[in-house]
Amino acid sequence: MTIDLDTLKRTALEEAEELLQELERCALELDTRPGDLALVEEMFRAAHTLKGSASCVGFQRITALAHEAESLLASVTARQRTADPEFAA
Protein backbone atom coordinates (compact mmCIF):
# COMPACT_ATOMS: atom_id res chain seq x y z
CA MET A 1 0.00 0.00 0.00
CA THR A 2 1.37 3.43 -0.94
CA ILE A 3 0.63 6.60 0.89
CA ASP A 4 -0.36 9.55 -1.26
CA LEU A 5 1.30 12.49 0.52
CA ASP A 6 -0.49 15.05 -1.64
CA THR A 7 -3.87 13.67 -0.58
CA LEU A 8 -2.78 13.66 3.06
CA LYS A 9 -1.65 17.28 2.77
CA ARG A 10 -4.96 18.34 1.20
CA THR A 11 -6.85 16.56 3.94
CA ALA A 12 -4.67 18.18 6.61
CA LEU A 13 -5.33 21.62 5.11
CA GLU A 14 -9.08 21.02 5.03
CA GLU A 15 -8.98 19.90 8.66
CA ALA A 16 -6.81 22.92 9.55
CA GLU A 17 -9.45 25.25 8.14
CA GLU A 18 -12.12 23.65 10.33
CA LEU A 19 -9.88 23.75 13.40
CA LEU A 20 -9.00 27.40 12.84
CA GLN A 21 -12.70 28.22 12.57
CA GLU A 22 -13.24 26.42 15.88
CA LEU A 23 -10.40 28.37 17.49
CA GLU A 24 -11.84 31.63 16.19
CA ARG A 25 -15.34 30.79 17.44
CA CYS A 26 -14.03 30.00 20.90
CA ALA A 27 -11.84 33.13 21.01
CA LEU A 28 -14.84 35.28 20.12
CA GLU A 29 -16.92 33.58 22.80
CA LEU A 30 -14.20 34.29 25.36
CA ASP A 31 -14.96 37.98 24.81
CA THR A 32 -18.40 37.44 26.31
CA ARG A 33 -17.43 34.66 28.73
CA PRO A 34 -13.96 35.58 30.03
CA GLY A 35 -12.37 32.92 32.16
CA ASP A 36 -14.55 30.10 30.78
CA LEU A 37 -12.17 27.16 31.09
CA ALA A 38 -14.40 24.91 29.00
CA LEU A 39 -13.82 27.22 26.03
CA VAL A 40 -10.10 27.27 26.71
CA GLU A 41 -10.08 23.46 26.79
CA GLU A 42 -11.91 23.35 23.45
CA MET A 43 -9.28 25.67 22.03
CA PHE A 44 -6.51 23.49 23.46
CA ARG A 45 -7.96 20.37 21.81
CA ALA A 46 -8.27 22.15 18.47
CA ALA A 47 -4.68 23.44 18.69
CA HIS A 48 -3.45 19.98 19.70
CA THR A 49 -5.21 18.32 16.77
CA LEU A 50 -3.91 20.98 14.40
CA LYS A 51 -0.38 20.43 15.69
CA GLY A 52 -0.59 16.68 15.19
CA SER A 53 -2.06 16.87 11.70
CA ALA A 54 0.44 19.48 10.56
CA SER A 55 3.33 17.50 11.97
CA CYS A 56 2.24 14.31 10.21
CA VAL A 57 2.48 15.95 6.79
CA GLY A 58 5.58 18.03 7.43
CA PHE A 59 4.02 21.48 7.88
CA GLN A 60 6.61 22.54 10.44
CA ARG A 61 5.67 26.22 10.71
CA ILE A 62 2.04 25.35 11.40
CA THR A 63 3.21 22.71 13.86
CA ALA A 64 5.33 25.26 15.72
CA LEU A 65 2.55 27.86 15.79
CA ALA A 66 -0.01 25.33 17.04
CA HIS A 67 2.47 24.20 19.71
CA GLU A 68 2.85 27.79 20.94
CA ALA A 69 -0.95 28.21 21.03
CA GLU A 70 -1.26 24.92 22.91
CA SER A 71 1.33 26.07 25.48
CA LEU A 72 -0.44 29.38 25.99
CA LEU A 73 -3.78 27.65 26.46
CA ALA A 74 -2.24 25.15 28.87
CA SER A 75 -1.01 28.06 30.99
CA VAL A 76 -4.62 29.20 31.34
CA THR A 77 -5.90 25.80 32.41
CA ALA A 78 -3.00 25.59 34.89
CA ARG A 79 -4.17 28.98 36.23
CA GLN A 80 -0.82 30.60 35.47
CA ARG A 81 -2.60 33.09 33.22
CA THR A 82 -6.18 34.32 32.88
CA ALA A 83 -8.39 34.15 29.80
CA ASP A 84 -9.38 37.80 29.84
CA PRO A 85 -10.43 39.79 26.75
CA GLU A 86 -6.81 40.72 26.01
CA PHE A 87 -5.88 37.02 25.98
CA ALA A 88 -8.37 36.26 23.23
CA ALA A 89 -7.24 39.17 21.03
Instruction: State the pTM of this model.
Output: 0.88
Interior/surface letters 32-69, b for 16+ CB within 10 angstroms, e for the rest = eeeeeeebbebbbbbbbbbbebbbebebeebbeebbeb
Q: What is the pLDDT of residue 3?
A: 78
In order along its 89 residues, the chain shows pLDDT tens digits of 777 889 999 999 999 999 999 999 999 998 888 888 999 999 999 999 999 999 999 999 999 999 999 999 999 999 888 877 666 65
Q: What is the pLDDT of residue 87?
A: 67
